[in-house]
Amino acid sequence: MIRSAVFALVLAASGIASAAQPVQPVLVIHGGAGVIRRSNNAADEADIRKALETALRNGYAQLKAGKSSTDAVVAALRVLEDDPHFNAGKGAVFTHDGKNEMDASIMEGEGQRAGAVAAVHRVRNPITLARAVMEHSEHVMLVGDGAEMFAKEQGITLVDPSYFRTEKRWQQLQKILKEEAAKQTSTDPEYVKHIGTTGAVALDSKGHLAAGTSTGGMTNKRWGRVGDSPIIGAGTWADSGCAFSGTGWGEYYIRTHAASNVCARVKLLKETAAQAGAAVINGEVVKMGGDGGAIVLTSDGKFAFPFNTEGMYRGWIGADGVPHMALYADDGMTGDVVLKKEEPVATPAH
């Protein structure tokens, strides 16, 4: 009887100690791995850093206010969707037919609810619509006109397609079309036309994870092509232990089910965010011939930025409330796991 009472007191004391140590919220974001240093001037770089900082601050404000990781992900991504420097929302690239088609997805680790949209043309903030699909429909993915009809019913902002036109993106399409017509080889790395996305992963004070991804797709894409970004398990994933958002050559992320693959390695092989991210993004994807990057966040608050391109717009913010941002591979930042292409591809030790 005495032993039972003592044991109960020990349990109660440990419970009080646990309650006194809430989870420290973390937010991690990316603005795409399709980065070429020479395409940015000093003003561009300053604007990109400022946008990343604003996204981090807006998202983290949600976490500090005790709101959910989902709230933080959406708040951060809306900033990037509204900025023309990123291939999502306002900065979406053009299809072969001169249109803008956007995709987005979101997933919660707690309960693993998910929502996604693809091939939308008039939704100002596709991540908001993806969340509405998750929370206010019985479906996971809606596409095209049907998705926009649902957006209208939900009171989500629709804009004229001309809103998404930017001269920089238009000229990028014209350059590729001219090279195709002349049968010229592009002067840019192959990955540039395939990679361009925004993403966020967050851990809230309750220990719940969420992930979201939003993109304008692939420059010069045809035939209603859809990449990995709106596909749960390929470009976006969250479970109780891991959250992932990718930015890469979508066909390879789909074939390797990159997002759920990384998180499965965390769960089943007990790998860290860095080990699992490197094994898939800098390992399996590259071996197949793809490129890209990702952000990975685990429930212990550890995160990683695996990528294998010249740069990836990225950032994080944690307990001290200070935003940290980087643009290029040689910037060097906490969490970076960079593969230089001359290096042999290998799976890290567990």
Distance CA 293, CA 77 (A): 17
Q: Whose CA is closest to 301, among 198, 199, 200, 201? A: 201
- CA angle, 254 then 140 then 255, to 5°: 5
Distance CA 78, CA 71 (A): 11
Give the pLDDT confidence of 34-59 residue by residue, as tens digits.
887 777 889 999 999 999 999 999 99
At 315 the pLDDT is: 98
For the chain, what is the largest distance between any 2 Cα atoms, rounded to a whole number of angstroms?
A: 88
- Using alpha carbons, list the distances in angstroms from residue 294 to 34, 40, 107, 338: 12, 21, 16, 11
Please report, to the nearest 10 degrees, the dihedral formed by the alpha carbons of residues 287, 292, 297, 303 taken in order: 90
Distance CA 123, CA 113 (A): 22
Give the pLDDT confidence of 103-150 residue by residue, as tens digits.
999 999 999 999 999 999 999 999 999 999 999 999 999 999 999 999
At 24 the pLDDT is: 97
Alpha helix segments (H runs only) across the chain: 2-19, 42-64, 69-81, 126-136, 144-153, 167-181, 250-255, 258-268, 273-279, 285-288
Phi then psi dihedrals of residue 85, to 5 deg: -75, -10
Strand partners, 296: 244, 304
Task: Return the DSSP state at 289.
Answer: T
Catalytic residue set: 197
At 34 the pLDDT is: 81
Residue by residue, DSSP assigns 50-74 as HHHHHHHHHHHHHHHTT--HHHHHH
Query: How long a stretch of residues is the chain?
Result: 350
At 349 the pLDDT is: 39
Please write down the long-range contacts of 187-192, taking CB distance under 8 Å and 24 or more positions apart: 188/36, 189/36, 189/309, 189/310, 190/291, 191/33, 191/34, 191/249, 191/291, 191/292, 191/309, 192/34, 192/36
Task: Return the DSSP state at 348.
Answer: P
Whether the model clears a pTM of 0.85, i.e. scores above it, the answer is yes
Question: Which run of H or E residues covers position 102?
Answer: strand 102-108
Give the pLDDT confidence of 251-309 residue by residue, as tens digits.
999 999 999 999 999 999 999 999 999 999 999 999 999 999 999 999 999 999 999 99
The amino acid present at 73, given as its one-letter code, is V
Give the pLDDT confidence of 201-246 residue by residue, as tens digits.
999 999 999 999 999 999 999 999 999 999 999 999 999 999 999 9
At 196 the pLDDT is: 79
Q: Enumerate domains of the chain plus CATH numbers.
A: 26-338 (3.60.20.30)
Residue 350, pLDDT > 50, answer no
At 187 the pLDDT is: 61
